[in-house]
Amino acid sequence: MGTALGLDLGRLEQNLRLTGIDPASITDVILSHAHLDHVGGVTRLDGTLVYPDAQYHMAAHEWSSGPHPDLRVLPVNDGLRQTFVTTAQRSLGAVHDRVNFVQAGREIMPGIQAVEAAGHMPGHTALLITAGKSKLLHVVDVFHHAAFDLAHPTWQTAFDHDPPGAYATRRRLLDQVCVDRTAVLAYHAPFPGLGHVLVNGPRYDWVAAPWQFEVQPHPPALGPADAVRSALWRPGQWTESPLSAGRPASTRPWPHRSAALRYPELRC
């Protein structure tokens, strides 16, 4: 998202650095569509690239419509419409010389296949991720929340460029993951956004994957609150952040140490 909707947002670069990942080491960035919460983090406020050495991947149809999308059909205020357009222009313009166009049904890179998901935007692209026999479909904005467009599949968000097309895509992809029992990663679902979709009559149900904590050793001089938080962190990466230096353990802000999150194992 970057800071398009506020300076207190756009913390991905900071969080990558806290986990010990240099954004300059990122080699590939897949852009699902040109909405500001999906491309706004490509550049900083000064226009420089967050991932300066990366190649960017996007559907050709989305690229051609993204910098100047026809947002007049969206029932949002004029200021927000303009923010969408200017963010797309700034972000996509900054990577115009390093974009690879992807095609639905083909691999973008080993283990990641582009899936046609038009409707939300003209070139909106989902991602099928495979590892051995396991599969995960990143539906991006095919749906936004279980209580909204899963419980009521015909309902639309104000940001669907083509509402009938978005509905048809939602039905097609969700019916498929139900049949195949494919795990789902949903961009707008509550954290961590991993789970399965089940058919329940005319609606769908979201079955969230349980978050699995793996307790790790932690420094001895920590209070009870830190003992719980330390379950998220890997040993060997225990460093103070500027926000927490010198503060009592029980009063440090969250998150307060650099480390890498451990994601739950998916079983489809």
Distance in angstroms (rounded) separating the CA atoms of residues 30 and 56: 6
Instruction: Check pLDDT > 60 for residue 243.
Output: no
Residues 157 and 222 in one domain: no
Residue 210 has φ and ψ, to the nearest 5°, of -65, 135
pLDDT at 40: 87
3 assigned to some structural domain: no
Q: Render 45-67 in DSSP notation, one character per residue.
A: TTS-BSSTT-EEEEEHHHHHHSS
CA-based nearest residue to 267, from 207, 191, 199: 207
Choosing from 208, 227, 253, the residue where a domain stops is 208
The secondary structure of residue 256, as a DSSP letter, is -
Round to whole Å and give the CA distance between 172 and 43.
Answer: 34
**What mean pLDDT do residues 47-75 have?**
80
Q: What does pTM read for this prediction?
A: 0.75
> What pLDDT is attached to residue 136?
95
The reported pLDDT for the residue numbered 171 is 95
Do 172 and 250 have their domain in common? Answer: no
Same domain membership, residue 215 and residue 105: no
Choice between 165 and 217, residue whose per-residue pLDDT is larger: 165
What mean pLDDT value characterizes the chain?
A: 78
Q: Are residues 73 and 25 in the same domain?
A: yes
Peptide bond before 69: cis, by omega within 30 degrees of 0?
no
CATH number for the domain harbouring residue 111: 3.60.15.10
**Polymer length in residues for the chain:** 268
Instruction: Please indicate, yes or no, whether residues 62 and 159 belong to a single structural domain of this protein.
Output: yes
Q: Is the pLDDT of residue 218 over 80?
A: no
82 pLDDT above the threshold of 80: yes
Read off the tokens for 30. Answer: 């897949």
The CA-atom distances, in angstroms, between 30 and each of 34, 63, 176, 178 are 11, 12, 23, 25
Same domain, 193 and 233: no
For 257, residues 6+ apart whose C-beta sits below 8 A from its C-beta are: 18, 233, 237, 238, 239, 240, 241, 244
Helix, strand, coil in percent for the chain, rounding step 5: 30, 20, 50
User: 256 and 222 in one domain?
Assistant: yes
* Pair 159, 94 in one domain: yes
The residue ranking higher by pLDDT, 95 or 257, is 95
Residue 28 within any structural domain of the chain: yes
Residue-range definition of the domain harbouring residue 29? 12-208
Into how many domains does the chain fold? Answer: 2
Same domain, 165 and 191: yes
One-letter amino acid for residue 116 of the chain: E
Closest CA to 164 of 226, 118, 218: 118
Residues 8-16: contacts with CB under 8 Å, at least 24 apart? 10/40, 10/41, 12/41, 12/50, 13/41, 13/44, 13/50, 15/255
